[in-house]
Amino acid sequence: MEMEDLTGIGTAVAKIAELGREAAKLDLIAIEPPKEAVGLVPFSVGFDRENSTIVDLSPFAEKWRTHPARCRGAAQVATLASFIDLTNRHKTTHSVIFAATSWPKPSLTAVANYHEKDNGKPGHNDHRVHYAFPVTDEFAAWMAQDAKPMNQQDFAAFVENRIAEIATATREEEHIYADLFQTNFATPADMMMLSRGLEVHVASAVKAHHTLSSGEREIVFTEEHDTKIMVPGLFMVAVPAFLDAIPVRLPARLRYRVSSNGVAWFYQLYRWKELLRAAVIADLAKAVGDTQLPAYEGSPEA
């Protein structure tokens, strides 16, 4: 055997011997927790005799895990259906749902490892499924312009671009809101006719405007021949507020202001936050029914 090989073997043996001497300095101590120590199981620590210190062995043990000790983290889902399916996959007998039902941040949060109810044992409370009710582009567009004045041309274009989101009011809606505001609902066709009439008279001055006995209003534009346009008092917006959700029906009051600069148009969605909360509560009820979990309005412990 060559001298170089003997040197290599000697180095390896020396290293093994050094590791053995180092290991001999460490004692393994098993600790049995007292019965009153809730949630603790027997564990071991190392005692370094040379330095008289306790050595935490858990970092070494964690390297050899084939899977985590428990589930933790928060999954973010994009639809109510996914929230229900994933919650059903991870729920236990102690899981719960928390709900924030008000604008601007409605959400549902399922806590899979929540505190135990029967024996009072606390849970880790850190394995969650979160659904943040993602707002649709259609709903965001109506929210963005709510109660904000637009010039005649911009308002006419806005109505035409979103005419598919304007619905015919039901008899019940007419009974509730038309009676409340003492005016009539416009149909989608009425709103389209209004927008096209406004487009024609963008450059025309307003000669007069009146409120009729029906609650509708009448604007007279000055041209070679005076032209009248009927302005309805109400129209119904029907758009899905959240991704994959059924449309929310929002009554809107149609308003305008006449000034020397022309006519400023705007709409006001009536109590839309209350109607939106009702839609969120309906989704919460579906989640509770499909998961069979208790629900609470609020947020879980941090």
Q: Is 146 a domain residue?
A: yes
Give yes or no: residues 84 and 24 share one domain.
Answer: no
pLDDT at 270: 96
Q: Which of 302, 296, 287 is nearest to 86 (CA)?
A: 287
Q: In the prediction, which pLDDT does 192 show? A: 94
| Residues 266 and 208 grouped into a single domain | yes
pLDDT confidence of residue 14? 58
Q: Which pLDDT belongs to residue 39?
A: 80
pLDDT at 21: 54
Domains identified in the chain, total number: 3
My answer on whether 95 and 213 are in the same domain is: no
Co-location of 202 and 258 in the same domain: yes
Q: Is residue 67 assigned to a domain?
A: no
Residue 8 belongs to domain spanning: 3-62
Residues 157 and 189 in one domain: yes
* Both structure tokens of 19: 């590791």
Residues 285, 185 share a domain = no
pLDDT for position 215 = 62
Q: Is pTM, for the whole model, over 0.85? A: no
The answer as to whether 235 is a domain residue is yes
Question: Does the residue 302 lie in any domain?
Answer: no
pLDDT at 160: 95
pLDDT computed for residue 1 by the predictor: 46
Q: What is the pLDDT of residues 155-195, one digit of tens each?
A: 999 999 999 999 999 999 999 998 899 998 999 999 998 88
Alpha helices in the chain (DSSP H): 3-24, 58-62, 80-90, 137-145, 152-161, 171-173, 179-181, 188-200, 272-291
129 and 148 assigned to the same domain:
no
> For residue 68, is it within any domain?
no
User: Is the domain of 151 the same as that of 253?
Assistant: yes
* SS3 per residue for 247-291: EEEEEEEEEEEEECCEEEEEEEECCHHHHHHHHHHHHHHHHHHHH
Examine the domain organization and report whether 124 and 222 are in the same domain: no
What's the token pair of residue 283? Answer: 């989704």
Please report, for the chain, how many H helices and E strands are present, in that order.
Answer: 9, 17
Which residues of the chain fall short of a pLDDT of 70? 1-24, 201-203, 206-217, 222-226
Same domain, yes or no: 171 and 128: no
pLDDT at site 48: 87
pLDDT score of 64: 84
Query: In CATH, what number is assigned to the domain containing residue 108?
Result: 3.30.720
At 128-151, the pLDDT tens digits run 999 999 999 999 999 999 999 999
